[in-house]
């Protein structure tokens, strides 16, 4: 990936002035040289639950569950996990994130635990969690 700085002034650009001084912002243009193959299969999730903290049971400690590699041929190298915790009415009350760096062979399962960012959520208000998975596969 290469980055270059350009001064861009398109037609009809509204320039803001402070007296005789012209105020403007820089624009960063990023050109991506390539990308990996498109992933159509995402790992599956099951048994997702919001767990209280073992040290402070009144607060959420983690979102836990199982991750299953749904690909019949590819091995998962790592995953980025994000959780959104919902109350009984479906309102977002918090969330967290986590990573897994262990490999997961095709059709295998592993336990996951998302703990970063969970502390400020009262466990009495947490009804469920939605988890998103971004996998990286071995080549």
Q: What percent of the chain has pLDDT over 90?
A: 55
pLDDT of the residue at 25: 45
Question: What residues does each domain of the chain span?
Answer: 2-31, 44-137
- In this structure, which topology does domain 44-137 adopt according to CATH? Immunoglobulin-like (2.60.40)
Instruction: Tell me the backbone φ, ψ of residue 96, rounded to 5 degrees.
Output: -165, 180
The pLDDT tens digits of the residues spanning 70-97 come to 888 999 999 999 999 999 999 999 999 9
- Structural tokens at position 9: 């002034």
What is the distance between the alpha carbons of residues 76 and 101, in angstroms, rounded to a whole number? 9
Provide the mean pLDDT of the chain.
81
Name the pTM for this structure: 0.68
């Amino acid at each position: 990936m290469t980055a270059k700085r350009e001064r861009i002034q398109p037609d009809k650009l509204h320039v803001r002035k402070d007296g005789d001084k012209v105020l403007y912002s820089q624009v960063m243009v990023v050109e991506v040289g390539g990308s990996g193959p498109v992933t159509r299969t995402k790992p599956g999730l099951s048994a997702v639950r919001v767990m209280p903290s073992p040290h402070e049971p009144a607060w959420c400690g983690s979102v836990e569950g199982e991750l299953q590699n749904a690909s019949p041929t590819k091995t998962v190298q790592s995953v980025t996990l994000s959780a959104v915790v919902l109350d009984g009415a479906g309102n977002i009350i918090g969330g967290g994130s986590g990573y897994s760096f262990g490999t997961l062979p095709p059709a295998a399962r592993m336990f996951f635990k998302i703990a970063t960012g969970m502390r400020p959520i009262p466990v009495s208000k947490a009804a469920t969690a939605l988890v998103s998975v971004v996998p990286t596969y071995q080549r």
